[in-house]
Structure 1
Amino acid sequence: MSILTSILSFLRDVFSQPALLIGLMACIGLIALKKPFHKILTGTLGPILGYIMLSAGANVISTNLTPLGKMIEKGFHIHGVVPNNEAIVASAQKILGVETMSILVLGLVLNILFARLTKYKYVFLTGHHSFFMACLLSAVLGASGFSGIQLIIIGGIFLGAWSAISPAIGQRYTLKVTDGDDVAMGHFGSLGYYLSAWVGARFGNANHSTEKINIPEKWGFLRNTTISTAITMVFFYLVAAIAAGPQYVSTLSSGMSPFLYAAMLGLNFAIGVTIVYSGVRMILADLIPAFQGIATKIIPNAVPAVDCAVFFTYAQTAVIIGFVSSFIGGIIGMLVLGLAGGVLIIPGLVPHFFCGATAGIYGNATGGRRGAALGAFVNGLAITFLPALLMPVLGALGFANTTFGDMDFAVLGISIGQVGHSFTTMGIYALVLATLIVLFVPNFIKTKSTTLNHIVEDEEN
């Protein structure tokens, strides 16, 4: 048993590293294309290094958002629960470590199997989000009365299925975002992004893109994304620092002048965003050509589903608009929860930046500037109310002081939890059967594309 646990632990570590997972997929694709060794080597290392660069930028962003959140809580006297995926996963591993890593490995294998056997040809490459979802599933299924091999098999089916289905749900929106680039959304905030695109399509105008905002010549430097992000974030940090007061900020700044500290945090944040953009370009430059090997040789018509930050380069102005709008939605949602007497969900800067920015990009693709702002605002409300509703489900296993932050976790957790609570184990089995039907029924239906919802413009016309 200890050897099996060690193997599962090693596989969990490998598959929870998106850089290695993306590199492995690129390597398999290049081998399938029978590329020479030197091209396999460089084509494998490119996506790995690109994702490590993306992660480094994301870490810079997250590190600099933490003190901003503390200053906002202190300055505006806000106390409550901050949704944080990493925190709840760390807590859950003490109780459900073996179950989580077993679901992870099985889910990754089933995702590839479903991509091969069904019209859901999406291969989910964001390993750390697969790990988070495996943790959620182990917690919710455990609270529903499952344990051991049953819990692992059912959790693996749900993880593998959602990894293939979730990119397909909004792929028509993703193709608008990428202007037809052959990638899909591989991030479990996806329902929020698709909701944003839906809102944008109904209340905005795609011709009025955020990337076409007319800027007078004297303000032309704002077209430089790094500079405009730096100016915007320095303003946010200084407002938060003034609200918190120099005495409190001094406890965070390690002796640096409080307001200089706030300004430097804003500048470092902008550098983190720039590093993310550079990493994304490295990933796409090698991953998409290499993935052709998987698409042609192993899983016909396969589409890589990648992290939300990969989409930041497609609409860089929408990134900032989306972040700000989502955060405003989070604040309003928090106030509504407070007035209703519910659990106070404090807007987490990390989910509101990454999910809000991506929601802004999707809203912009269908509704331009208005779509970016409104869509991301709705996303901000959703990732405030839904985590509050998820907390009672997780509280059954002792996680009452924390919750997941992204929309897919909340929707799946609440849905599975409610089915398990209302219909016990038979309800969960029925949900598994329904999931398999959703996966395989399209095989017997004529669709416009061999890959479900992966329809480019020239195929539609």
Structure 2
Amino acid sequence: MGVLMYLINNVFSQAVFIIGIVVIVGMAAQKKTWDQILPSVIKTMIGFTMINVGGQTLGMALLPLQSLISKIFNVPAVSADIGAAQSESLTGIGTEMALIFALGFLVNLLLARFTRFKYVHLSAHVSFFYAGLIAALLKFGTSLSFVPLVLIGSVILGVYMTFSCAYVALFMKEVKGGEGFTLAHSSSVGILISSLLGKAFGNKENDLENIKVPKKLNFLREMTISLTIVMTILFFVLCLIAGPTWVRENVTSGQDIVVFSILRGVSFGMWITVIITGVRMMLSEIIAAFHGIANKIIPNSVPGLDIPLLFPNYPNSVIVGFLTSLIAGLIGMMILGMMNYPVVVFPALIPTFFTGAITAIFGNAHGGRRGAIIGSFVNGLILIFGQALLLPMIGSYAPIMRILSETDYSFYGPILGLVLKLFGGM
């Protein structure tokens, strides 16, 4: 048991190892030699690490916005220390979470092998934290003992991993660069809702990515450039509204707000470039390697991968989606404040960026500019109101959910919590 827990907590919880193992198995199934397998594994793992580290660091670069927004709207700031929040959150559910994570992945593989839903969820970092949410809802919302809690939680996670990939796959055909894989991410219900809203109320002929700009501004079509400029302006405007003196004393450690804003914008643009480079590096290897699994081990299977893979083809949607979801979250925060809601809720900026971006991408793919705006706005509302409903249900897991609560956590979490309550805590 000790060896198993070590492997779960130290190896299988690291998504980069899962990705590497998938490439080894896939290429071995194609009878590739070790000198062909090794370079492909290394390049895939490096590409994935660039995406993962780039995404995490890019998210952290947004965190000063939290202090600025707290000052502007006069609301208490929520701690943004991910390490401390994770340590506190796992205190009461660490063992259950780890076992649900490992067994849930096994359930996903069995469903992919023996049912018509041939989707293998490869975003281990997503399923790891979702395992924690399920463990928290079951532990703090039921009277289940250890073994049934883990078994029920594993089935719930495995079903979620499989079917979230499956319904996202239904909408991938309209998305540029989405060939050969589906998405495995905790924004899946946001993608579903955004795509449906785009189809219902939008017009995909009015593509957000085809906005005409003067010839001399064509450089703005490059994601690195446009995001750097937009984020620099966003930081600067919020610094002005919050008050330059207060910002220097409380946010920038004495640094001038112009210099601070430019450096933050450049840092953001740099990490976007890292992500894009990693996307190209990883995709060139893993899709080919996965063919071995799809042909030999789990016939016709499709890999579920992370959402930044689509960002390079949709620079405008990424920007519009983030800003629209952020505005919706702030509106939701003010509504909760006016209602005197007992739990203080603040827009979680890392989820707001990533889920806002991907819901705008799918909204745009299915409904053009209007679809992107409607989809990402609804996504922002789900993030804030869903988090407000979820936090009282999950006990010690609440600190990490205040920082990383993405659309699926905020949507499915309260539903599962209410179902458990209706059944009297089982």
Fold shared per TM-score above 0.5: yes
Tell me if 1:64 matches 2:61.
yes
Partner of 2:186: 188
What's the CA shift for 1:171?
1.3
Partner of 1:301: 300
C-alpha offsets along residues 356-410 of structure 1, whole Å, 9 cap, x if unaligned?
0011111111011111111111111111111111122114x58489545112123
- Write the distance in 1 (CA, Å) between the matches of 2:383 and 2:257: 31
Does the CA contact (< 8 Å) of 1:76 and 1:244 recur in 2?
Answer: no
Give the alignment's Cα RMSD to 1 decimal.
2.1
> How many residues matched?
422
What's the CA shift for 1:252?
3.0
Partner of 1:322: 321
Partner of 2:152: 154
Partner of 1:406: 406
Partner of 1:217: 215
Q: Cα–Cα, structure 1 residues 224 and 413, in superposed 2: closer, same or farther, change >3 Å?
A: closer
Q: Name the aligned partner's letter for residue 409 of structure 2.
A: F
Q: Name the aligned partner's letter for residue 79 of structure 1.
A: P
Partner of 1:130: 127
Q: Name the aligned partner's letter for residue 302 of structure 2.
A: V
Partner of 1:332: 331
Q: Cα–Cα, structure 1 residues 253 and 425, in superposed 2: closer, same or farther, change >3 Å?
A: closer
Tell me if 1:393 matches 2:393.
yes
Does the CA contact (< 8 Å) of 1:246 and 1:259 recur in 2?
Answer: no
- Write the distance in 1 (CA, Å) between the matches of 2:356 and 2:237: 20
Which aligned pairs between 1:439-454 and structure 2 lie closer than 5 A? none
Residue 394 of structure 2 aligns to a residue in which SS?
Answer: helix
Q: Cα–Cα, structure 1 residues 159 and 260, in superposed 2: closer, same or farther, change >3 Å?
A: same
What's the CA shift for 1:145?
1.2
Q: Cα–Cα, structure 1 residues 35 and 328, in superposed 2: closer, same or farther, change >3 Å?
A: same
- Write the distance in 2 (CA, Å) between the matches of 1:308 and 1:401: 21
C-alpha offsets along residues 12-58 of structure 1, whole Å, 9 cap, x if unaligned?
32222222211211111011011122221122112210111112221
Q: Cα–Cα, structure 1 residues 203 and 81, in superposed 2: closer, same or farther, change >3 Å?
A: farther
Q: Cα–Cα, structure 1 residues 123 and 398, in superposed 2: closer, same or farther, change >3 Å?
A: closer
Q: Cα–Cα, structure 1 residues 387 and 82, in superposed 2: closer, same or farther, change >3 Å?
A: farther
What's the CA shift for 1:256?
2.8
Q: Name the aligned partner's letter for residue 273 of structure 2.
A: T
Does the CA contact (< 8 Å) of 2:382 and 2:411 recur in 1?
Answer: no
Does the CA contact (< 8 Å) of 1:91 and 1:399 recur in 2?
Answer: no
Aligned-residue sequence identity (percent) comes to 36
- Write the distance in 2 (CA, Å) between the matches of 1:136 and 1:269: 29
Partner of 2:48: 51
Residue 237 of structure 1 aligns to a residue in which SS?
Answer: helix
Does the CA contact (< 8 Å) of 1:83 and 1:387 recur in 2?
Answer: no
C-alpha offsets along residues 200-257 of structure 1, whole Å, 9 cap, x if unaligned?
1111111221221111112112112211111111110001111222333224334432
Partner of 2:283: 284
Residue 34 of structure 1 aligns to a residue in which SS?
Answer: coil
Q: Name the aligned partner's letter for residue 35 of structure 2.
A: H
Q: Cα–Cα, structure 1 residues 156 and 398, in superposed 2: closer, same or farther, change >3 Å?
A: closer
Q: Cα–Cα, structure 1 residues 87 and 157, in superposed 2: closer, same or farther, change >3 Å?
A: farther
C-alpha offsets along residues 274-293 of structure 1, whole Å, 9 cap, x if unaligned?
11111111111111111100
Tell me if 1:256 matches 2:255.
yes
Q: Name the aligned partner's letter for residue 215 of structure 2.
A: E
- Write the distance in 2 (CA, Å) between the matches of 1:47 and 1:215: 36
What's the CA shift for 1:298?
0.3
Partner of 2:174: 176
Partner of 1:98: 95
Q: Name the aligned partner's letter for residue 151 of structure 2.
A: I
Q: TM-score, normalising length from structure 1?
A: 0.87
Does the CA contact (< 8 Å) of 1:92 and 1:139 recur in 2?
Answer: no
Partner of 2:2: 5
Residue 90 of structure 2 aligns to a residue in which SS?
Answer: helix
Partner of 2:381: 381
Q: Name the aligned partner's letter for residue 97 of structure 1.
A: G
- Write the distance in 1 (CA, Å) between the matches of 2:102 and 2:192: 27
Residue 175 of structure 2 aligns to a residue in which SS?
Answer: helix
Partner of 1:447: none
Q: Name the aligned partner's letter for residue 328 of structure 1.
A: I
- Write the distance in 1 (CA, Å) between the matches of 2:397 and 2:123: 27
Does the CA contact (< 8 Å) of 2:67 and 2:77 recur in 1?
Answer: no
Which sections of structure 1, spanning at least 5 residues, go unmatched?
427-461
Q: Cα–Cα, structure 1 residues 206 and 402, in superposed 2: closer, same or farther, change >3 Å?
A: closer
Q: Name the aligned partner's letter for residue 212 of structure 2.
A: N
Q: Name the aligned partner's letter for residue 331 of structure 2.
A: I
What's the CA shift for 1:75?
3.0
Aligned counterpart for 1:113 among listed residues 110, 115, 119: 110
Q: Name the aligned partner's letter for residue 51 of structure 2.
A: L
Does the CA contact (< 8 Å) of 1:106 and 1:156 recur in 2?
Answer: yes
Residue 305 of structure 1 aligns to a residue in which SS?
Answer: strand
What's the CA shift for 1:178?
3.9
Partner of 2:163: 165
- Write the distance in 1 (CA, Å) between the matches of 2:410 and 2:59: 22
Does the CA contact (< 8 Å) of 1:206 and 1:368 recur in 2?
Answer: yes
C-alpha offsets along residues 92-133 of structure 1, whole Å, 9 cap, x if unaligned?
211111111111111111111111011111111111111101
Q: Cα–Cα, structure 1 residues 19 and 171, in superposed 2: closer, same or farther, change >3 Å?
A: same
Partner of 1:372: 372
Partner of 1:311: 310
- Write the distance in 1 (CA, Å) between the matches of 2:61 and 2:184: 25
- Write the distance in 1 (CA, Å) between the matches of 2:192 and 2:81: 22
Does the CA contact (< 8 Å) of 1:82 and 1:402 recur in 2?
Answer: no
Partner of 1:18: 15
What's the CA shift for 1:420?
1.7
Which aligned pairs between 1:337-376 and structure 2 lie closer than 5 A? 337-342=336-341, 343-376=343-376
- Write the distance in 1 (CA, Å) between the matches of 2:211 and 2:39: 38
